[in-house]
Structures are given as C-alpha cells and as structure tokens.
Amino acid sequence: MQVLISSERIRDRVDELGAEITADFDGQPITVVGVLTGCLVFLADLIRRLNHPTHIALLQASSYRGTATSPGELTVRDELLPDMTGRHVLLLDDILDTGRTISKLVDHLKSKGAASVRTCVLLRKIGRQTVEFEPDYVGFAIPDKFVIGYGLDFNDLYRHLPFIAVLPDSATTGG
Ligand code: 5GP
Ligand code: MG
C-alpha cells in the first residue's frame, strides 16, 4: 500500500490547524459539525487541539454514485443535529473532491439558523473541483487519486488506518 501522508505528518498538521482555528475563533464557542462517517478520526484528533468551549454535532451526507462519473443526488441526514440557531459552526469533512458536498452542507446549516459557518477539510484533491467554493482550512492538497485511511474508506473498509494511503488497483479489481 502506498502511504501518501504518514501519521506523523497528519499529527503535525492537525496541531497547526488546531492552533489556527483556536486563534481565529478568539474565545467564541464553536459547534464542530462533523460529516459522517469519514470525519470521525480527524474530528477526534482536531477537537483535542481546540483550546475552546466546543460543542460537537454530527450529520451524514451521501451522494449515490453508480458506475457513472457524475454523482447522484446528495442526501443529507440531520436528525442528530441540535438546534443550530445562532451557532458559530466549524463544518468538518474528510475530503473535498468536486466540492458539492461541502457547499451544499454550508447552505443547509445556514438554512437551519447557524450564525456563521466556517469549513475545514483534511484533504483537498487538486484539479477535481466543479463547484466554486473555498474552504477556510485545508490540511493537505493531494493529487487526484482515490485515498483511504484516517477515516476514509473504500466500501467501508480501511478507515482505521493511522495514515492516508492510495488505494491499490488490486483492491478494486480483485487482482
Ligand atoms: P465531493 O462532494 O466534494 O465531490 O465529495 C466529497 C465526498 O466524496 C467526501 O466526503 C468523501 O466521502 C468522498 N470522496 C471523494 N474522494 C474520495 C477519496 O479519494 N477517497 C474516499 N474514501 N472518499 C472520497
Ligand atoms: Mg464523505
């Protein structure tokens, strides 16, 4: 398996992001909203670097992609979310690919009454974005490869890996 980002590099970058976010929010209470399931490992690490009054909330977003390259409709499940009215949100996702998921979720949280929504993604794929959107915090820019580990899955496997790796072709073809 080709390791793209080691656990040491992830740890160092999460340290930096935590310090940056702590400084930017300037003592204001943060509601961290994680996008299930890929956010879980990143969220658990990042919140322990926020020197802040912090609330945690979760939602799920999935787009059904068939074999076609164009993704299907985005479904948002937010029944676990508390009342968002007046909250300053830090929306956390594992990876920004086309940008559809995160931009839709920002609109969704604003429609639920959030006072502000900042966004943080661990990874951003270069050259893939189709929706104009600029996240506030990015961990790493990566090449256009399918990646797994540190929360990211392939068929719900590999999330537990402590590093980010490129999924080998053999994992998808069975050879
Ligand atoms: P977007 O809406 O930005 O196109 O897609 C974002 C979502 O697609 C991510 O939250 C993630 O679930 C999934 N995704 C995109 N690229 C990858 C990848 O390389 N690996 C994994 N595991 N998921 C990806
Ligand atoms: Mg996702």
pLDDT in tens, 55-97: 999 999 988 665 555 667 899 999 999 999 999 999 999 999 9
CA of 151 to the centre of ligand 1 (A): 11
- What pLDDT score does 146 carry? 96
User: Of ligand 1's atoms, which has the minimum distance to the CA of residue 96?
Assistant: 3
Predicted model pTM: 0.94
Coil, helix or strand at residue 77: strand
Number of alpha carbons in the 13 Å side-chain half-sphere of residue 81: 24
Pocket-testing residue among 94, 121, 166, ligand 1, by greatest number of atoms within 8 A of Cβ: 94
Rounded Cα gap, residues 153 and 167, in angstroms: 9
Which top CATH class is 9-62+72-142? alpha beta
Closest residue by Cα to atom 17, ligand 1, is 146
Pocket-testing residue among 35, 60, 95, 142, ligand 1, by greatest number of atoms within 8 A of Cβ: 95
Closest CA to 98 of 72, 59, 136, 60: 72
Per-domain residue ranges of the chain: 9-62+72-142
Neighbours of 29 (CB within 10 A): 11
